[in-house]
Structure 1
Amino acid sequence: MPGTNCTPSTEFSFTGFTEDPVAQVLLFLMFLLIYLVSLLGNLGLITLIRASPQLHTPMYYFLGNLAFADLCSSTVITPKMLVDFLGEKRTIAYSGCVAQVFVFDLFGMAECFLLASMAYDRYVAVCQPLLYSFAMSPKCCSQLVVGSYLVGLANGVGQTIGMLSLSFCSSSTIDLFFCDISPLIALSTSDTTLSHLILRTSASLFGVSSVSIVLVSYLAIISTILSIQSSSGKLKAFSTCTSHLSTVSIFYGTSLFMYLKPSSDSSREDKWAAVLYTVVTPMLNPLIYSLRNKEVKEAWRRLTKRK
């Protein structure tokens, strides 16, 4: 609601996690370790995929782009959060907040469609293996990746426009550790109709469509696997999907918890759920594909032997 004595905001404050100095140092060290593992894991995975000819396949092409999206979305949030743990003031300039909203929503939505593209890739590999080379041609894969980034760009621009249409008082405090459009809408002192419309349109048009692609693909995959007669054949077919399924479960599980809960139910648990999909998930993805994937481990062995 508009306030009569409201000075336009030039910066925002974050509530953070705790005011205890000892706890802040411990959290700083924990998140620094997570970020370093995420940075090394995703950069290492991108480098390994580019350097290993045996990984020049559609699945790993998508995985390399997923690692890049994870790297970008994590980097726009985690370094600022680490600085806030050691600083006296947990503030961010208005322009910095706009940048966080744009970059995070761009790569967050791009990741949704990259995961959907990977689900489609697994569907073709399991359900239509004879058509795989045609359906997942280099041109088709490039179009899927470019389309993912374009959808992400549309989402980022849309959410940024929604934020720029809002007004805030100078005392605005975000009950989170980064700028997200939902708490910003709740903080606004102006009409939020446009921002709500953009947020709901994006969620229903982009979010639901990407989730639907994943669900339909895996329903078809499960149906095909169940029709296989031999247990070894079922296990082999399912093993090609386990890494992707783990990543999808973590990403969509935490995201749906954050964005489908009632907006009034803000709590400390919400912050830790946000930590999972903004900080922890980018670290887990390369670990999941590295530790559970024989092709990645074999490519790493060959690369280290050549070195």
Structure 2
Amino acid sequence: MEWENLTSISAFVLLGLSKQPEQQEVLFGLFLFMYLVTVGGNLLIILAIIADAHLHTPMYFFVANLSLADACFVSTTVPKMLANIWIQNQAISYAGCLSQLYFFMLFVMLEAFLLAVMAYDRYVAICYPLHYVMVMSPGLCVFLVSASWIMNALHSLLHTLLMNNLSFCAERKIPHFFCDINPLLSLSCTDPFINELVIFTVGGLAGLVCVLCLIISYTHIFLTILKIPSIQGKQKAFSTCSSHLSVVSLFFGTSFCVYFSPPSIRSPQKGTVASVMYTVVTPVLNPFIYSLRNRDIKSSLRKLIWVSKIPSP
């Protein structure tokens, strides 16, 4: 069935973060800066890992994939918001809105799965260091990342197809800066019961798997750290997990508030603020937290920049 037959409108209006004209230039400059830092930082991390053979390990393989997911994640929403501010046109086509929804759902869940996979990697490294190379084999690493991509591509396709089956009437203003699933459901003329049921079952199950993986991994990690006799050893082991825990708390805390809070306490303003935290702020912080504080990554970046400055003969 064609999209035109399912809805009476051909476009939506993204209201953005602020209606005040004097704040538009500030928002444009701020989000443009964060976007460039996010994409540039994550691409540098990927190049450094590819260029340095010493970083061809499971941990940095996952870091590279997380950096790729972050760059794609932020590119799904921020460029359209910047374009709308620049041309003073808040419209987004119906097909464009559904496309943005698909890729947003794909990368937000991919981010969650990769964070869970990285927690498992840290669990094996700290709890079973002598078996790390054997357990985290290249085949397993490729399988975990490939499975994350495939499952989340199908998961986001399911939500997009269900959204495509809804009808939208005269109201087309989305109180958000991108096409997210909850604001779209609120504009539907038809009963979105099936969509909401899938969000709380399929989406909730996917989120629960990631959370359980994180909880189980870190429970074993903390128990192992407590058994380390020296304080220096405990601090060194915990330092490898503290940054990851910070981003996990920020990402999962804000995303669960947006998607799994009861409708009675849900508000567009709170949802928008929480969405900014995990769609823009978290991808900006990830290159610094995961990589730029790491001596191996910083060394590889210095080599990469130094080689690029050497003139070719």
Give the TM-score range, shorter chain. over 0.9
**Residue correspondences, number:** 302
Check if 1:176 corresponds to 2:176: yes
Question: Contact 2:7/2:166 (CA < 8 Å) preserved in 1?
Answer: no
- What is the DSSP-based 3-state SS (H/G/I as helix, E as strand, rest coil) of the residue aligned with 1:77? helix
Alpha-carbon distance in 2 for matches of 1:193, 1:272: 26
Question: Contact 1:11/1:170 (CA < 8 Å) preserved in 2?
Answer: no
- What does residue 273 of structure 2 align with? 272
- What does residue 257 of structure 1 align with? 257
Alpha-carbon distance in 1 for matches of 2:51, 2:204: 39
1:263 deviation in Å? Answer: 2.5
Check if 1:234 corresponds to 2:223: no
- What is the DSSP-based 3-state SS (H/G/I as helix, E as strand, rest coil) of the residue aligned with 2:263? coil
After the TM superposition, which residues 1-307 of structure 1 pair with which residues of structure 2 at under 5 Å, given as runs?
Answer: 8-264=8-264, 265-307=266-308
Gaps of 5+ in 1: 1-5
- What is the DSSP-based 3-state SS (H/G/I as helix, E as strand, rest coil) of the residue aligned with 1:241? helix
- What is the DSSP-based 3-state SS (H/G/I as helix, E as strand, rest coil) of the residue aligned with 1:280? helix
Note the aligned Cα RMSD (angstroms): 1.6
Question: Contact 1:108/1:152 (CA < 8 Å) preserved in 2?
Answer: no
- What is the DSSP-based 3-state SS (H/G/I as helix, E as strand, rest coil) of the residue aligned with 1:76? helix
Alpha-carbon distance in 2 for matches of 1:27, 1:160: 29
- What is the DSSP-based 3-state SS (H/G/I as helix, E as strand, rest coil) of the residue aligned with 2:19? coil
1:10 deviation in Å? Answer: 1.0
Alpha-carbon distance in 2 for matches of 1:110, 1:285: 14
Question: Contact 1:77/1:100 (CA < 8 Å) preserved in 2?
Answer: yes
1:243 deviation in Å? Answer: 2.8
Partner AA of 2:149 in structure 1: Y
Gaps of 5+ in 2: 1-5, 309-313
Alpha-carbon distance in 2 for matches of 1:125, 1:136: 9
1:267 deviation in Å? Answer: 4.1
Report which stretch shifted further, 6-15 or 189-198: 6-15
- What is the DSSP-based 3-state SS (H/G/I as helix, E as strand, rest coil) of the residue aligned with 1:244? helix
TM-score (norm 1): 0.94
Runs of 4+ in 1 over 6 A off after TM superposition: none
Question: Contact 1:162/1:198 (CA < 8 Å) preserved in 2?
Answer: no
- What is the DSSP-based 3-state SS (H/G/I as helix, E as strand, rest coil) of the residue aligned with 2:92? strand
Report which stretch shifted further, 255-264 or 92-101: 255-264
Map Cα deviations across residues 7-64 of structure 1 (whole Å, 9 max, x no partner). 7121111222222222111110100000010110111111111111111111110111
Map Cα deviations across residues 223-260 of structure 1 (whole Å, 9 max, x no partner). 11011111011111112222322221221122122123
Partner AA of 1:121 in structure 2: D
Question: Contact 2:102/2:156 (CA < 8 Å) preserved in 1?
Answer: yes
